[in-house]
Amino acid sequence: MALRAAILRHVRVPVQILAVRSSERSLFGAGSFFRSMSSHGDDRPTKDEVTERVLSVVKDFPKVDPSKVSSDVHFQKDLGLDSLDNVEIVMALEDEFKLQIPDLEADKIDSTHLAIEYIYNHPMAG
């Protein structure tokens, strides 16, 4: 309690300044500040963000015509890539989202649609 009192005494200076606006507001401000910090920790990208980043990785792939890329294109059927390119694209997605996708899963990701679904549902996607 002594410590708390000591801290409060020190904190008084900024509080007094903030009190010009509203001391209650500054308390809420602090609360929402911490809340946003904590939610940032497990803040996974939204589906729109995942979609946008997946599409930009695919568009940047050297052999891909960016104008053909949408959120539902098949890498080999629609973009004319081969299975080796497919491996490279999935690896590039791993780099982008800081993931390691196991071989069994990686072999199944053959379209932007599946890539978006897989990454969006991955707990570690960053």
Partner 1 sequence: MGGSSGPRLSGMQRQVLGLYRGFLRAARLKSIEDRQKIESIVSAEFRHNAKHVDRKNFLYIEYLLRRGKKQLDQLKSPDIDGLSSLDVGLSQTHHTKA
Q: Which is nearer to partner 1, 44 or 113 (CB)?
A: 113
Instruction: Find where tokens 């679904």 sit.
Output: 117
Among 18, 73, 87, 99, binds partner 1 (CB under 8 A): 87
Any catalytic annotation for residue 82? yes
Query: What residues have CB less than 8 Å from 42, skipping those under 6 apart?
Result: none
Provide the minimum distance between the beta carbon of 53 and partner 1 in the complex, in angstroms, as a whole number. 19
Identify which range of 17-25, 39-47, 62-70, 81-89 contacts partner 1 by CB under 8 A.
81-89
Using the rule CB under 8 A, is 42 a contact of partner 1? no
Q: Are 115 and 90 in contact (CB under 8 A)?
A: yes
Provide the minimum distance between the beta carbon of 117 and partner 1 in the complex, in angstroms, as a whole number. 14
Instruction: Write the Ramachandran bin of 80: left for phi over 0, alpha for psi from -120 to 50, otherwise beta.
Output: left
Would you state the structure tokens that stand for residue 49, as one six-digit string? Answer: 């963000």
Catalytic residues: 82
